[in-house]
Amino acid sequence: MKKRVAIASFFVSTMICTAAFAMPEMAADMGIKGPDELPPITGKVVESLNSSGYTYLLLEKGGKKQWVAIPELYIKAGDEVELQGGVDMGEFTSKPLGRKFEQIIFSNGPTENFNKQRKESAHKGVDMSVPAPGNKGGAKVVEGLKVDKAPGENSYSIAEVLQQRASLKDRKIVVRGQVIKASIGIMGKNWIHIADGSGKAGSKLVVTTSDSPNVGDIVTASGTFHIDVDFGGGYFYDSIMEDAAVK
């Protein structure tokens, strides 16, 4: 019974804090400072975890470490961040992660200043609409080339991936197709566009990988499929395969 009361109390307090942050007038009535009134949270990312629409960041500053949770965002270990001030929730257990945090702060995410910095440095100014320096070129791309789906389990055509994107979220999948564009060495990854001639004209899937296929190659890519990924600086992907093995 005590456990149920504690859980209920936690969710009530979370809802109150969230509502207060969303409605400044409510925050003022309750004596709670809004995110604009709280000092920003800064530090270097030591660890980053994504789960159920949230990103959990272990920040280090001045020799001290602190966990902060924000709406899901692409941030990696080593990044210096500036986040909006948040609510200290104390002890918190994340069921999706299966992890208990002794203390954690919930923040609404990056400050406007940090978002501006991310935009200015996104992909180091590289235009993702054209092959980046370092692209190895290769065979001629055949528009609309029909490529058979890879055999085996968890294999999909690109049309199927895009049609079933919601149900395939965060799952390991396999696709086969022709590399129609490749940008090498951006944010420590290679970004390739794969098409297999399925679905609507121009259908393709963006894949990040440490492998370096040539444009024109017929490849099989296996990795984790994600949806609605925001890398900052205007680089938003509604469908993307990340950290793929490409052969």
Give the bridge partners for 152, in sequence order: none
DSSP class per residue in 36-67: TTSPPEEEEEEEEEEETTEEEEEEEETTEEEE
**pLDDT higher at 15 or 159:** 159
Q: Mean pLDDT across the chain, nearest whole number?
A: 78
Closest CA to 36 of 84, 88, 96, 100: 84
The pTM assigned to this predicted structure is: 0.50
What percent of the chain has pLDDT above 90? 36
pLDDT at 166: 93
The token pair at 182 is 């490749």
Residue range 148-176, pLDDT digits in tens? 999 988 999 999 999 999 999 999 999 99
**Mean pLDDT of the 211-227 span:** 91
Per DSSP, 246 falls in state: E
Residue recorded with tokens 């590289």: 126
Question: How many angstroms separate the first and last alpha carbons of the chain?
Answer: 55
Residue 77 pLDDT: 84
d(CA 196, CA 202): 10
Only one residue has tokens 């020799």, namely 63
**212 vs 190: CA distance, rounded Å:** 7
Among 233, 242, 247, 30, CA closest to 116: 233
Residue 177 reports pLDDT greater than 90: yes
Give 182-229 as a DSSP string.
Answer: EEEEETTEEEEEEE-S-SSTT--EEEEESS-PPBT-EEEEEEEEEEEE
Cα–Cα nearest to 68, from 98, 37, 89: 89
Residue 178's identity, in one-letter code, is: Q
pLDDT score of 3 more than 50 = no
Domains and CATH numbers, the chain: 2-110 (2.40.50.140), 125-246 (2.40.50.140)
Question: Alpha-carbon distance 110 to 129, whole Å?
Answer: 26
Contacts of 212 (CB under 8 A, 6+ apart): 136, 182, 184, 190
* 78, pLDDT greater than 70: yes
Per-residue confidence band for 222, with pLDDT thresholds at 50, 70 and 90 = very high
pLDDT digits (tens, 9 = 90+) for 21-68: 443 333 334 344 455 568 899 999 999 887 777 889 999 999 999 999
